[in-house]
Amino acid sequence: MTKSTIIFTFLLFTATLFSCGNAKKQQDSTDIKEFNIKSITSQDVYPGVHSNLRKTRTYKLVMSAKMQDEHKFIALLVDSVQLPLEFIRADGSAITTEGYGFQGQFDELVISVSRHFFQQYAPDMVAEVMYELSGFQLSDSAKLMISGPLGIEYINLGIVQRQDNIYAP
Cβ neighbours of residue 147 closer than 8 Å, sequence gap 6 or more: 71, 72, 74, 153
Q: For each successive 10 residues of the chain (169 residues), what is the average pLDDT?
A: 54 50 44 89 89 91 92 93 89 74 90 90 76 90 93 95 92
Query: Across the strands, what pairs with 42?
Result: 59, 162
CA distance 43 to 64: 22
The pLDDT tens digits for 47-72 are 877 778 889 999 999 999 999 888 99
For the chain, give the mean pLDDT. 82
Residue 18, amino acid: F
The pLDDT tens digits for 67-94 are 988 899 999 999 999 999 888 888 888 7
Task: Work out whether strand 33-46 and strand 81-84 pair parallel, antiparallel, or are unpaired.
Answer: unpaired
* The predicted structure's pLDDT at residue 49: 77
* The predicted structure's pLDDT at residue 128: 84
Is-above-0.95 flag for pTM? Answer: no
H/E stretch holding 153: strand 151-159
